[in-house]
């Protein structure tokens, strides 16, 4: 109901509200540089009007305003932009971790940094050049040994540095887990305050800002999904809907020991409210945590494997050639250049060392190829040329050996340079042998519906479908009684390694292993890896050869045959040649099978030929884009199809590049990986920056704009003060002057009462 003091009451609401609005804008200006602060806007609304009865109005009672109220304090922010920023921040965090690891790794190789001095890859080049120089008489034996020792030292340093870098990535993983847990606690605490404020009907803008900033910081460390709930809290999840924050409770990430690398941290998760830790390492979808694990388990681990492959291939190849040469006395032979070792640990970059006997006596360098002639240097020249020969100590096949449909090939399953499988025959199958030379790789897994048997040096090891890879490895080690050590590398390049104190003979009796195998026999021999050949096969449609591939061909008596070659000419279209023969043709005669194949290839413009090597009794495809390959002149693959199944072949499915190409490619791959990581990081940073600019345009405080609005509220406040003064004067006249003159002799109380 209106009263004499109604106008004063109206002005009082204005003073109160304008003052609050001034405080809100002043707070905006004070937090103009505060990280994560969202500007706030006072929302004013008119109070409910008062009804004034009117006798002369045909429209009913009239209404009069009663003042103003602060309806709400609006927090200005685009939640959709926040979601996009968090998504891109996860990408940025992941790429930043990978890029940092690549940058740290690049420092280890001076060749990549244009830093004067001798890096490892340069030292490998110098090692081969020294052998050439020794053959030419321009490099002394002492210099060669000095450079060889320096090379092995650089191998050791690179191996140790990569291991340290791997350990550093693991420490960063653990530190990131701690940071994540701290942010989860902040978000849960903010949830609790926001829920309480919302339940009381109030707002919690400061807590909302704090929570949003914590969510953005968290998204850089681990990719998250968020759901805002009706009570004002936010549900935070990662991976396979693993709750990290639910209401006022936070989950916990904890470092667990990796099953196969106990020293490294796996990611354990406990849901909000407690419970046992569950390993969610494979579920981390992004963020710095994902990037750090990728850097640790793939980027750095891959370089370590590459370095180990280079070292082990160097040991095997150089030793084989050196053992075939003669020292300066013309009679001493059979000495390996690099130390072999006596234990069952693999020889790799951390172990490579010059044979102590040779290091102590340079005259033991086997530079001669002729028995009885210590002045001959032909073997030194061969060792020098090794840089441009294929690294075939470690051979790798990137695809299945059987390209057709069917069960795993029993004789090829663990046979790196294996043979054509038996056609409906029964075990035993031809084995794979290793005499001091490493084998190759396949994908190691058991066939789910079959048990299996592995035979190692005549010892049969059986497993069932219930056995895991670890259990199979344990069975091998138990059965071999310390003469062979089995291990499995659970990096992204999975492989089974068997190391024996002497030569190894291994085969998969039932063909139920599909990977596999790195064989390393400690007793070095000059015999070839896999020197047998198997029966015929009509089931394999084709074998693809990349590089200078050795194969052994033998025709079946009284049978015809047919073989097809397919290849991609450099900068040309695909080509194919098919050649057929009958039982009247011999193998190498003028009108024989070999001559017929090469005539057909020449007629089709092939860049390769098939050659016969009487010493090894094998054929070799040579030429493939002018072997040996270089980084600028890559190999062109050739697919060989035995249409009739009347060839027995010994194939190296994918020859490793030469030592020179391998070292050049290793450096080029690191440079490319770094450039790619830099580009992806720049792209992620640009995306986050652009989105943040859009959000800042909405949420960030503009000091000039705030000052202008503050002046408006200040003027409104001043006007209200002046109105209050005018109303006060009106009351003063009404009470003290008008009443006294109008009702002379009456008391003020009686006048007011009337």
> What pLDDT does 741 receive?
60
Nearest to 399 by CA among 441, 452, 447, 448: 441
Nearest to 484 by CA among 466, 470, 498, 465: 498
- If one compares 232 and 306, the residue with the highest pLDDT of the two is 232
> What pLDDT does 445 receive?
35
Is residue 267, in this structure, part of any structural domain at all? Answer: no
> What pLDDT does 560 receive?
67
- 568 and 488 co-located in one domain: no
> What pLDDT does 607 receive?
72
Final residue of a domain: which of 511, 532, 553?
A: 532
Burial class (CB in 10 A: 0-12, 13-18, 19+), 8: middle
Is residue 11, in this structure, part of any structural domain at all? Answer: yes
> What pLDDT does 637 receive?
60
Q: What is the pLDDT of residues 607-628, one digit of tens each?
A: 777 876 665 445 566 655 433 3
> What pLDDT does 504 receive?
61
d(CA 628, CA 392): 13
Q: What is the CATH classification number for the domain harbouring 597?
A: 2.60.40
pLDDT-based confidence at 404, cuts 50/70/90? Answer: very low
- 614 and 521 co-located in one domain: no
- 585 and 706 co-located in one domain: no
Place of tokens 């002043």: 26
Is residue 217, in this structure, part of any structural domain at all? Answer: no
- 595 and 710 co-located in one domain: no
- 525 and 401 co-located in one domain: yes
- 727 and 624 co-located in one domain: no
- 563 and 516 co-located in one domain: no
Is residue 440, in this structure, part of any structural domain at all? Answer: yes
pTM: 0.69
Q: Which residues contact 553 (CB under 8 A, 6 or more apart)?
A: 587, 593, 618, 619, 647, 648, 649
For residue 262, report the phi and psi dihedrals to the nearest 5 degrees. -55, -25
Instruction: Tell whether the model's pLDDT for residue 356 goes beyond 90.
Output: yes
> What pLDDT does 366 receive?
93
- 524 and 433 co-located in one domain: yes
- If one compares 506 and 209, the residue with the highest pLDDT of the two is 209
- The conformation of residue 446, written as its DSSP 8-state character, comes to B
How far out from the chain centre does Cα 536 lie?
A: 42
Is residue 289, in this structure, part of any structural domain at all? Answer: no
Q: Which residues contact 247 (CB under 8 A, 6 or more apart)?
A: 188, 191, 192, 195, 231, 233, 272
- If one compares 559 and 524, the residue with the highest pLDDT of the two is 559
- 13 and 65 co-located in one domain: yes
Is residue 268, in this structure, part of any structural domain at all? Answer: no
- 408 and 517 co-located in one domain: yes
Lowest average pLDDT, out of 522-531, 647-656, 696-705, goes to: 522-531
- 493 and 553 co-located in one domain: no
> What pLDDT does 744 receive?
55
Final residue of a domain: which of 657, 672, 688?
A: 657
* CA quadruple 175, 181, 185, 186: dihedral sign: positive
Number of domains in the chain: 3
Segment of 134-143, 367-376, 581-590 carrying the highest mean pLDDT: 134-143
Is residue 572, in this structure, part of any structural domain at all? Answer: yes
The tokens of 468 are what? 């895991």
Is residue 247, in this structure, part of any structural domain at all? Answer: no
d(CA 474, CA 483): 14
Secondary structure (3-state) at 673: helix
- E-strand ranges in 50-161 read 50-52, 62-64, 68-75
- 522 and 546 co-located in one domain: no
The tokens of 434 are what? 């290793």
- Residues spanned by the domain of 564: 542-657
Final residue of a domain: which of 497, 512, 532?
A: 532
- If one compares 668 and 506, the residue with the highest pLDDT of the two is 668
Lowest average pLDDT, out of 80-84, 275-279, 434-438, 688-692, goes to: 434-438
Nearest to 334 by CA among 355, 352, 314, 349: 355
> What pLDDT does 715 receive?
95
């Amino acid at each position: 109901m209106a009263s004499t003091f109604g106008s004063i009451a109206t002005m009082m609401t204005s003073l109160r509200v304008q003052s609050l609005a001034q405080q809100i804008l002043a707070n905006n200006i004070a937090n103009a540089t505060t990280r994560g602060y969202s500007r706030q806007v006072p929302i004013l609304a008119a109070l409910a009007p008062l009804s004034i009865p009117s006798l002369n109005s045909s429209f009913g009672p009239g209404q009069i305003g009663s003042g103003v109220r602060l309806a709400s304090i609006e927090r200005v922010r685009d939640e959709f932009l926040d979601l996009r920023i968090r998504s891109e921040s996860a990408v940025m965090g992941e790429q930043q971790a990978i890029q940092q690891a690549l940058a740290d790794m690049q420092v280890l190789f001076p060749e990549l940094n244009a830093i004067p001095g001798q890096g490892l890859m340069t030292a490998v080049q110098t090692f081969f050049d020294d052998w050439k120089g020794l053959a030419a008489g321009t490099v002394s034996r002492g210099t060669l040994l000095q450079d060889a020792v320096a090379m092995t030292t650089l191998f050791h340093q690179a191996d140790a540095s990569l291991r340290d870098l791997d350990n550093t990535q693991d420490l960063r993983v653990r530190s990131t887990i701690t940071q994540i847990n701290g942010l989860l606690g902040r978000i849960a605490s903010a949830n609790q305050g926001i829920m309480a404020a919302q339940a009381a009907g109030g707002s919690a803008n400061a807590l909302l800002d704090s929570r949003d900033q914590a969510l953005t910081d968290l998204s850089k460390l681990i990719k998250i999904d968020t759901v805002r709930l009706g009570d004002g809290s936010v549900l935070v999840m990662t991976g396979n809907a693993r709750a990290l924050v639910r209401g006022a409770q936070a989950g916990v990430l904890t470092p667990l020991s990796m099953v196969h690398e106990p020293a490294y941290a796996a990611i354990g998760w406990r849901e909000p409210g407690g419970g046992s830790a569950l390993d969610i390492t494979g579920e981390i979808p992004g963020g710095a945590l994902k990037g750090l694990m990728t850097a640790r388990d793939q980027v750095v681990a891959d370089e370590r494997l590459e370095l180990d492959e280079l070292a082990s291939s160097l040991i095997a190849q150089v030793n084989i050639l050196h053992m075939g040469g003669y020292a300066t006395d013309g009679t001493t032979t059979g000495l390996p250049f690099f130390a072999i070792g006596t234990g069952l640990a693999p020889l790799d970059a951390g172990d490579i060392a010059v044979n102590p006997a040779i290091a102590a006596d340079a005259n033991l360098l086997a530079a001669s190829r002729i028995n009885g002639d210590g002045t001959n240097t032909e073997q030194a020249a061969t060792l020098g040329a090794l840089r441009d020969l294929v690294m075939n100590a470690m051979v790798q096949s990137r695809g299945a050996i059987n390209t057709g449909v069917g069960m795993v090939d029993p004789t090829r399953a663990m046979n790196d340079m294996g043979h054509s499988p038996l056609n409906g025959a029964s075990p035993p199958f031809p084995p794979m042998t290793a005499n001091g030379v490493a084998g190759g790789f396949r994908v190691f897994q058991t066939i789910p519906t079959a048990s299996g048997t592995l035979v190692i040096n005549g010892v049969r090891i059986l497993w069932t479908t219930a056995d895991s890879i670890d259990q199979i490895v344990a069975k091998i080690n138990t059965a071999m009684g310390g003469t062979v050590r089995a291990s499995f590398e659970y990096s992204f390049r999975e492989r089974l390694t068997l190391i024996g104190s002497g030569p190894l003979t291994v085969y998969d009796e039932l063909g139920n292993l599909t990977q596999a195998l790195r064989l390393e026999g400690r007793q070095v021999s000059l015999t070839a890896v896999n020197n047998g050949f198997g029966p015929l096969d009509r089931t394999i449609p084709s074998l693809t050869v990349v590089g200078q591939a050795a194969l052994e061909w033998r025709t079946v008596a009284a049978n015809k045959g047919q073989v097809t070659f397919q290849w991609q000419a450099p900068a040309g279209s695909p080509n194919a040649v098919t050649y057929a023969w009958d039982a009247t043709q011999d193998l190498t005669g003028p009108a024989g099978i070999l001559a017929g194949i090469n005539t057909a290839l020449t007629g089709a413009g092939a860049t390769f030929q098939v050659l016969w090597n009487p010493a090894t009794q094998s054929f070799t495809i040579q030429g493939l884009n002018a072997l040996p390959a270089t980084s600028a002149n890559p190999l062109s693959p050739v697919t060989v199809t035995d249409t009739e199944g009347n060839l027995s072949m010994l194939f190296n499915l994918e020859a490793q590049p030469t030592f020179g190409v391998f070292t050049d490619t290793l450096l080029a791959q690191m440079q490319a990986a770094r450039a790619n990581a830099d580009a992806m990081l720049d792209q992620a940073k640009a995306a986050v920056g652009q989105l943040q600019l859009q959000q800042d345009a909405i949420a960030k405080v503009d000091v000039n704009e705030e000052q202008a609005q503050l002046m408006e509220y200040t003027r409104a406040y001043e006007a209200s003060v002046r109105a209050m003064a005018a109303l006060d004067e009106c009351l003063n006249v009404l009470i003290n002057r008008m009443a006294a003159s109008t009702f002379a002799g009456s008391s003020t109380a009686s006048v007011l009462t009337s």
